[in-house]
Structure 1
C-alpha cells in the first residue's frame, strides 16, 4: 500500500480519500463548464501562470538482515554536493531538527534548479523511499527534468 492521496476535509475524514478528491474535481469541472471552460483549459492556464511541476518516487527494497549501513547513514557521512549536474543548495536533516517538525530519519535536499529530493525509510517495510519534485517553465520541461533527476539519483545509488 502506498499512502498517496488527497486529504480534502481533515475535520471530517482523517485519511486520504480518493472519493472526496474525485468529488472536488467533479465540482470544479461543473463550475468550469458553466463558465465555458474545461479542466484541461484550466490546467493550461495554471501552467501558463506558474509553470509545470512533476513528482515521482523511487522505492528501494532493503535487506532487513543486512549488516550494511543504511543509505541515509552513508548520505550523512559523505554528503553529496550534486545529484548529477544539479548542485544541492540546501540540506535539511530532520534528525538534527528542522523548524517545529519532529526529529525523524529524513533528509531533504533543495537543488539550485528548484528541484527537491526527500529521502526517508519506510515506516512499515524494509524500504527506502526517495521523493523527487521538479519544476519547469512548462510541464514538458518539468517532466524532462524529472527523468534526468531520476537517472542521476539511480546512478548515485
Structure 2
C-alpha cells in the first residue's frame, strides 16, 4: 500500500494525517482509500480491519467489490446535483451509518476518498480535516463521471 497519490491528484497522506489528528488519537479511523470511477488504492488500513481478512488478497477482493459501485456514486451525484437539487451546489460527501461502522465518501470533482470510521466518530471533523488538507474545493457535480471518461 502506498499513499494513493497515483490514483488521485491530491495528497492522500496529508489528508490521512489530518483525519487522524482531527479524530484525536486516530483510533476511530480504520481505512482510507483514494478512488476515481476507474481505479482505487488503499492508502491506510489499520490492523483491526485487516483482522477480518485471511490475507491481503482476500481484502483486495473485497475492496474490488466495493469499488465496482464508484460509478453508481458519481451517477447518484449527477442525479442530486443536476435533477433534484440543482441550486445546492456539488456533493461534498456521503456518509452511511451502520451499527458497527460509518462509511464516508468525500468527493472533489471525479476523485474521492473512502473512509471507514467507528460509528460514533465525528464525520464532520473528518470531512473538514480533508478540506483543510487538500484545499477548500470539495464537491463533485454531474459532470464528474463524464469528465473521467475523456
TM-score (norm 2): 0.29
Q: Compute the TM-score of the two structures, normalised by the length of structure 1.
A: 0.28
- Higher relative CO (Cα under 8 Å, sequence separation at least 6) belongs to 2
Structure (1 or 2) with the greater helix fraction: 2
| Rg (Cα) greater in structure | 1
